[in-house]
Amino acid sequence: MIEPLAEEYRDIETRRVGESDLSDRNCVRCGDRHDRLEVVAFWQPILDEDDGFAYRWWAPCPTTGDPILMRDLKEPRPDGAD
């Protein structure tokens, strides 16, 4: 389990971190390309049990409203592989 953010960040308004551009790839939720997605940090990040990576941010898909999970692609692999 990953530790949650500090208690003062429990409110979603304190976790809005900016915008992201997914216009260079297709959205995993609807297949379209989006720009200017509003990114929000998870209060409790999601750990992917299969590969060990943590999803720390999300943005709502403008088409479906479903969450697009985001992780830091520069984060080293938990298994140490390149």
What is the per-residue pLDDT across 9-67, written as a single tens digit (0 to 9) for each? 888 888 899 898 878 899 999 999 998 899 999 999 999 888 888 999 999 999 999 99
Which residue is listed with tokens 């692609």?
Answer: 73
> Does the pLDDT value for residue 68 go beyond 80?
yes
Per DSSP, the chain holds a count of helices (H) and strands (E) of 0, 4
pLDDT at 82: 57
> Does the pLDDT value for residue 76 go beyond 80?
no
Any idea how long the chain is? 82
This prediction has a pTM of: 0.79
**Tokens encoding 8:** 């003062």
Domain boundaries in the chain? 7-70
- pLDDT band of 2, cuts 50, 70, 90: confident
Residue 16's nearest CA partner among 45, 50, 59 is 59
Pairing assessment for the beta strands 34-47 and 54-60 based on DSSP bridges: antiparallel
